[in-house]
Amino acid sequence: MALKSSPTKRRPTQPKRAIAMRVTILDPPPDVAMCLRSKDDDIVDRTVASGDVLSFDFTVRAQRVVGSKAPRLLGPFVYGPPAQRFVYIRIGTLTGQADSCWTRAAKIPLAGITWEMVGRAARGAGRLEARVDGRAKDGGPFCATVPLLDGGWRPVG
């Protein structure tokens, strides 16, 4: 009787490393509230946009996984399957802004983050930052999966 072999699962091999992250939203529509969405469905860092730049800071944990060159990102703000992780930004009524005409959410992809970037952020660059356009094609707040500007995530001081 032949034994069936199970598929090899990717297993973590090292402790997790904390990484400071920042999403910077360029030109968000004024007077619209935005916040991070946590896995507990909490409203985190709710801010009403002034029309200038708006930033959200949070921390993720990066973990090495056997068979993968990219870090596995984890934490209370991280959603999605390992190869397609993202963070949510809630907009308008989803933040508790009852008088808003907007009910939207934006997905900020975490793709493209490498161990080299994680190391640079840990050695003194401070954090990884991604910048996004705060407006959708209709002129309202950004929504759905948004493209990252300036080449995506990058270490900053």
Burial class (CB in 10 A: 0-12, 13-18, 19+), 33: buried
Q: DSSP E strands: which ranges in the chain?
A: 17-26, 33-37, 43-48, 54-63, 72-74, 86-92, 103-109, 127-133, 144-145, 149-156
Residue 46 lies in a domain: yes
pLDDT digits (tens, 9 = 90+) for 85-110: 999 999 999 999 999 999 999 999 99
Q: What is the pTM of this model?
A: 0.86
Residue 12 lies in a domain: no
State residue 65's pLDDT score.
Answer: 85
pLDDT digits (tens, 9 = 90+) for 51-64: 789 999 999 999 98
| 41, pLDDT greater than 80 | yes
Residue 9 lies in a domain: no
Total domain count, the chain: 1
Residue 116 lies in a domain: yes
Residue 7 lies in a domain: no
Of the candidates 114, 149, 115, 111, the residue with the CA atom closest to the CA atom of residue 132:
149
State residue 39's pLDDT score.
Answer: 92
Containing domain of residue 138, as a range?
17-156
